[in-house]
Structure 1
Amino acid sequence: MSDHSPKGHGLLPLWLGFRFYRARQSNSFISFISFASTAGITLGVAVLIIVLSAMNGFERELRDRFLDVVPHGELTGVNEPVHGADDIIEQANQLPGVRGAAPFVRLQGLVQRQGGFQGVSLVGIDTAREGKVSGIASYMSPAAWQSLEGDDNTIVLGKALLEKLGLNEGDTLVLYVPDLSGRDAGKLGATQSHKFIVRGSYQLGGELELLTAFASMEHLARVMNLGERVTGVRIAVDDVFAAPRLIRELGFAQTSQHLYISDWTRSQGHLYQDIQLVRTLMYLVLALVIAVACFNIVSTLVMAVRDKTSEIAILMTMGLKRRAIVLMFMVHGAISGFIGTVLGMLIGVTVALNLSAISRGIESLFGVKLLSADVYFIDFLPSELHTQDVVLVCVMAFVMSLIATLYPAYKASLTEPAAALAGR
């Protein structure tokens, strides 16, 4: 044995496995297959970490940005506006898990733009109570928020809608709504028009900017002749996933009037489901990529066993036990898995931590938009790295690479020294 061999026999299989791994360079084909397996594991681990971080980012934006503005739940009148909104709000505030409640008035209409009309949902809010259920104030200027107080005919549009309509602050916007009262109410296509003064815009990103505008609740209620009634009550909860249960519990307690019970999982739940579906599919696909790369480890070790049959036989005649042969080739294959896993982790973590900046750089360099606000609820690529995801992916990749070494290592241990040396 070489003078560089370890003194402790317990470490001998590990040392031999490392020497055999380095000796693969003598066979260029085995070296190429080993490189391919390491590269495959690296790619699979890196991409899986990046994809999981992106899905975590989408969940965070859905929870902290989109659901910060979209109500977690709503109670709206079935055939007529809601009366006694203050009583409903008081009951909601007494329900454990409810963060707050606020009344609102909604008016659906059309605004004219070049080439046609644009549908708009105009939401009248009470600025004194809206902060309990929505963070929309943080997405617009203080002046725009203050303009929604009182009974003025002011309106705050989404920035995307403002640009689409070609309007500026101070311009007049005309909203066309169905005529539900008066002598023309029964005529097909009869409409009413209401003028609003644009006092600002909010910038949230996504489809909401194109479809939703905000106005004074007091003014809208007067325009719609609601009196003390409102369209409904918006509710915010501490745990967004508890919203369906809490909204139903609150809605069923209202026996004096018929109400529609709605929560975010009905109106926006498809976004969360899509994120989870993509996460699951990508996990399966990339796990298969790692599995294929690990299969290359099997090929590498099988060829290494054939190439090193004589060396195995000599070691066994010198007293090396069969279980040591198994461990030796497991170490040989595990090194490829370990290197691939570590490289993939380093690349994946680095890219995941800088994914948003990288995506912005690509958009700027090639003049493209990776995520369109017209389609998605955000217009940038988010990322949130979770330590447990990194650990899970790395452990999975390394364990799969270890499993891939079992069969070739076992076959190597079955080598008969006499037959192998006789055929040398």
Structure 2
Amino acid sequence: MKMPFPFFIGLRYTGTRRRSQLVSFLSGISITGLVVGVALLVVVLSVMNGFDRELRERILGLVPQAAIKYRSGLDDWQYVIDTVKGDDRVVAAAPFVQLDGLVSYKRKTEPVLLYGIEPSLEPSVSQIEKYIQSETLERLSATESTVLLGAAIAEKIGATLGDKLMVVVPGSDSHHSSAKIEYFELIGIIHSKTELDNTLALTGIKQAATLAGMPGKVTGVRLKLQDLFSAPSVVYQSLIKLGVGYTGTNWTRTQGNLYHAIHMSKNLVGLLMSLIVGIAAFNVVSTLVMVVVDKQGEIAILRTLGASTKSILSIFIVQGSFIGLLGTTLGIAIGCILALLVEDFVQLLETLFHVQFLKSDVYPLTYLPSEIRAGDLLHIASTALFLSFLATLYPAWKASRVQPADALRYE
């Protein structure tokens, strides 16, 4: 199969060794810069995608995606569940009791967000079984007071399995109700590797209701949805069905700021890294200009042999585009490898230097997740190739303007 003349010469110029070491050096720098820029962009976007995924799967897998509450507490929560499950967008529902309190052990005290859950129904609306064994979870339904704590809280107060912890819940009315105190046995520690490890505590729904001063009632019903982004609409429609007295909340109010911050960071960092890719792509301009200077005699000979201006233009567009294709391909390949290894690499550094880069009291996650998406790779590749193509136009035009008589005058 015959290769078109411009492609043959353009690829030949790319692959042959040049007399000018400066031109070879600049060509290598152009490819290297493009590889580094594309690889970094792939890694950064993959990490941002990982944060987005873990927010949806880990954090929103433990706290309510949406919740329906009643002002004085729900005593007939089964009616609410039957009503909300009439919406096809609701996958499951379960009752809960929510309390703000303090947990104390050996004179160390930390604030907690205490949830009372029904162990038989909770796995249908959360991912608690990923972190706690089912046998341990079933102990929450027993008559004795038991509790599960986030790993960071347990570490801060120095508690281990089997310890008796004091839980203090303020009264509902500071003028007429005193704080309630209860002792709980620590039967499990939740290692979610998220910010929830600093605040989350779980106990049986009956114990929590008694501690809240409303035995037989629950705070509300939490919902698991097919589509997270339908939460505001589902809550609104459910409140219309249930009538006066009911209130609702959803994850866009509790975790929405974090979600938007992740997406804003992804867009801003992606833009900055795209500029780096653009700068690397336009290094092709300097490379090709030097090639044009280096090859003026050969360009003149091609012109005298009958090569048209269009052919000369195409030769250097092919050469520059090949440099862009090579740099983009290598960059995406290296970026994907780094994105797959970034979590293990960070963990290795933490182990070697005995330091934790991401702490749950500062960052939403304690590790660096990543998720490679085909759409991002396609966008990065198309952007880099387009910028590389643009960078070839001026040098190619410059080459097409070479006059054979002037170029061969001193040959």
The alignment's TM-score, normalised by the length of structure 2, stands at 0.93
Superimposed CA distance per residue, residues 124-180 of structure 1 (whole angstroms, 9 cap, x where no aligned partner): 111122222112133113332111113321111112211211112222111122234
Q: Is 1:282 paired with 2:292?
A: no
Q: Is 1:146 paired with 2:146?
A: no
1:132 to 102, 124, 128: 124
* Mapped partners of 2:373, 2:169: distance in 1: 48
State the secondary structure of the residue aligned to 1:213. Answer: strand
2:74 is aligned to 82
Which amino acid in structure 1 is aligned with residue 381 of structure 2? Answer: C
Gaps of at least 5 residues in structure 2 are none
Q: Is 1:225 paired with 2:213?
A: yes
Q: Is 1:351 paired with 2:338?
A: yes
Residues 150 and 218, structure 1, Cα contact 8 Å, conserved in 2: no
* Mapped partners of 1:124, 1:262: distance in 2: 18
Q: Is 1:272 paired with 2:259?
A: yes
Q: Is 1:37 paired with 2:24?
A: no
* Mapped partners of 1:69, 1:358: distance in 2: 27
1:186 to 169, 175, 186: 175
Residues 152 and 216, structure 1, Cα contact 8 Å, conserved in 2: no
Structure 1 residue 292 displacement after superposition? 0.8
1:156 to 148, 169, 175: 148
1:416 is aligned to 403
* Mapped partners of 1:72, 1:177: distance in 2: 25
Residues 67 and 221, structure 2, Cα contact 8 Å, conserved in 1: yes
Moved more, 32-41 or 222-231: 222-231
State the secondary structure of the residue aligned to 2:182. Answer: strand
Residues 206 and 215, structure 2, Cα contact 8 Å, conserved in 1: no
* Mapped partners of 1:13, 1:290: distance in 2: 27
1:360 is aligned to 347
State the secondary structure of the residue aligned to 1:127. Answer: coil
Residues 75 and 216, structure 2, Cα contact 8 Å, conserved in 1: yes
Moved more, 121-130 or 360-369: 360-369
Which amino acid in structure 2 is aligned with residue 265 of structure 1? Answer: T
Residues 356 and 380, structure 1, Cα contact 8 Å, conserved in 2: yes
Structure 1 residue 39 displacement after superposition? 0.8
Structure 1 ranges of 4+ moved more than 6 A: none
1:198 is aligned to 186
Q: Is 1:61 paired with 2:54?
A: yes
* Mapped partners of 1:382, 1:359: distance in 2: 10
State the secondary structure of the residue aligned to 1:253. Answer: helix
* Mapped partners of 2:325, 2:130: distance in 1: 47
Structure 1 residue 421 displacement after superposition? 2.9
Residues 146 and 186, structure 2, Cα contact 8 Å, conserved in 1: yes
Superimposed CA distance per residue, residues 175-219 of structure 1 (whole angstroms, 9 cap, x where no aligned partner): 1222347xxx527x9533222122222221222122111111112
* Mapped partners of 1:420, 1:27: distance in 2: 17
1:400 is aligned to 387
2:157 to 152, 159, 165: 165
1:119 is aligned to 111
Moved more, 19-28 or 281-290: 19-28
Superimposed CA distance per residue, residues 96-122 of structure 1 (whole angstroms, 9 cap, x where no aligned partner): 110111111122211235676311121
1:241 to 203, 208, 229: 229
* Mapped partners of 2:180, 2:277: distance in 1: 62
State the secondary structure of the residue aligned to 1:111. Answer: strand
Structure 1 residue 22 displacement after superposition? 4.1
> Matched residues, percent identical?
36
Structure 1 residue 387 displacement after superposition? 2.7
Residues 81 and 226, structure 1, Cα contact 8 Å, conserved in 2: yes
* Mapped partners of 2:17, 2:273: distance in 1: 28
Structure 1 residue 363 displacement after superposition? 1.7
2:196 to 200, 208, 211: 208
* Mapped partners of 1:134, 1:19: distance in 2: 60
* Mapped partners of 2:326, 2:143: distance in 1: 67
* Mapped partners of 1:213, 1:146: distance in 2: 15
1:3 is aligned to none
Residues 169 and 211, structure 2, Cα contact 8 Å, conserved in 1: no
* Mapped partners of 1:273, 1:194: distance in 2: 38
State the secondary structure of the residue aligned to 1:371. Answer: coil
Q: 1:285 to 1:114 in 2, by over 3 A?
A: farther
Moved more, 21-30 or 332-341: 21-30
Superimposed CA distance per residue, residues 55-103 of structure 1 (whole angstroms, 9 cap, x where no aligned partner): 222222222222211111112234x223432211111111111011111
* Mapped partners of 1:271, 1:110: distance in 2: 25
Residues 144 and 201, structure 1, Cα contact 8 Å, conserved in 2: no
* Mapped partners of 2:283, 2:148: distance in 1: 60
1:28 is aligned to 21
Residues 141 and 202, structure 1, Cα contact 8 Å, conserved in 2: no
Which amino acid in structure 2 is aligned with residue 126 of structure 1? Answer: E
* Mapped partners of 2:361, 2:146: distance in 1: 25
* Mapped partners of 2:337, 2:98: distance in 1: 46
* Mapped partners of 2:257, 2:244: distance in 1: 32
Which amino acid in structure 2 is aligned with residue 200 of structure 1? Answer: G
Superimposed CA distance per residue, residues 354-410 of structure 1 (whole angstroms, 9 cap, x where no aligned partner): 222222222222222232222233221112222332233223212211221011111
Residues 70 and 134, structure 1, Cα contact 8 Å, conserved in 2: yes
State the secondary structure of the residue aligned to 2:111. Answer: strand
Residues 53 and 384, structure 1, Cα contact 8 Å, conserved in 2: yes
Q: 1:276 to 1:204 in 2, by over 3 A?
A: same
Aligned length: 411
Which amino acid in structure 2 is aligned with residue 396 of structure 1? Answer: T
* Mapped partners of 1:28, 1:91: distance in 2: 77
Residues 24 and 30, structure 1, Cα contact 8 Å, conserved in 2: no
* Mapped partners of 1:221, 1:392: distance in 2: 52
RMSD: 2.2
